[in-house]
Structure 1
């Protein structure tokens, strides 16, 4: 008979187990799903391109973000981390997949960019902890099960400086991702490739932050210098400079 729950972390790990074998998409055991995903770099995956997100380029161009310390959360092959470094940010880039990190490091060497890469769980002990002026997330959030939003919001709260920004892209309801209610996901035991969100749900989840901009990502043509897919929301939030 097991009686091994005595902390929030124990509860989160138990709930992770309800999603096996999908759990290697967000837990520290990254030897599985994401490494297989990144193994073939020639696959026609939209975000394999060496281009930054169009919303990131827009934020920088309009002066909504200014250089400081940045965390690229789920950095993949490093396309946004490289743009942040080129824009004057001091960048920590984190991903679960050793294959993704290896690819990102290759791109950084080719570009002569100075970035710090970390392969592992961004929510676990030992991960880069900031403080950061910017947390940038292009596609990590929608791959988390509902209970791991607790970990995500905890990271934002402790790692983001007052006045700092959270920028994220995630699946847009009606365009991409699972529409199942949170509770039903625990019965199905899967995330169906990722979760869709409405603007209202994003505003509710991140109610402790100030909304700067929330819009659909612009579709970018193949010859564009930016990445852009219309099935994503892009959101920029600001942590209040003083507690509410």
Structure 2
């Protein structure tokens, strides 16, 4: 007889286990899936290129964010981490895949960049391992691969690790362009995420409603010769932390 549910974390882990090990990208074997994905560096994957996101570059050029401590969630081969480090950020970068981290570390060594890389599930890493709070948490393509229940963990991570006045940057699948548009409950009935979840502008505003929206637009389409990465099937969003009292007052007046 199995009676192991006692905490919210127990429930989240139970829901994680509903997704078949070889059916999708969020499972106990997710690191193996992503290792195979990153294992062939010659694959024509657009974000394998050593280019930062165009929106991240724009935030920096426009002064919307300034150098400080940064956390790159799902850093992959480290292209955005390298950009941040080159501009004076103190960068921590996390990815589930050892192959991705190894590639990112090679790029950082070639560039002479001082970046702290962490291999593992960001929800399992402790605050002492990550070293927050952070002035910037940036996520380019991790969020849309999480199952719906892990939004709870994600929001808790932002609440815990973002410094007062800190910024959160996100790129994720845009509904109507890329990703699955099934209702949340359907993913649990089918035990798979269908390659990633699409989001509408309204759903992102609702999910991150405890943060102040700075900008929410479609990522610009960047040509191959551009020094930046850009794909119009992605949202590019920038939010900022607000004082808890302000957030409470805003919800009360809505």
Confirm or deny a common fold (TM above 0.5).
yes
Q: Counterpart of 1:25?
A: 25
CA-CA distance at 1:32 after TM superposition: 1.1
1:138 partnered with 2:140:
yes
Asked if 1:39 is matched to 2:39, the reply is: yes
Q: 5+ unaligned residues in a row in structure 1: which ranges?
A: none
- Counterpart residue number, 1:201: 203
Instruction: Write out per-residue CA displacement over residues 10-59 of structure 1, whole angstroms, 9 at most, x where no aligned residue.
Output: 00010001112268834675541000000100000010000000000000
Cross-structure match for 1:161: 163
CA displacement, residues 144-195 of structure 1 (integer Å, 9 cap, x when unaligned): 0000000100000000011100000000000000000101111011110000
The answer for the alignment partner of 2:214 in structure 1 is 212
Aligned to 1:61: 61
**Contact 2:17 / 2:28 at 8 angstroms: preserved in 1?**
no
Name the CA distance, whole Å, in 1 between partners of 2:123 and 2:27.
9
TM-score normalized by the length of structure 2: 0.93
Q: Which aligned runs of 4 or more in structure 1 are off by greater than 3 angstroms?
A: 22-31
- Structure 2: runs of 5 or more not aligned: 247-254
CA RMSD, Structure 1 to Structure 2 (Å): 1.4
What CA distance in whole angstroms lies between the structure 1 residues aligned with 2:33 and 2:214? 34
Which of 192, 195, 208 is residue 194 of structure 2 equivalent to? 192
> Aligned residues, how many?
244
Query: Quick one: distance in 2 between partners of 1:225 and 1:57?
Result: 10
Selected match of 1:150 from 149, 152, 155: 152
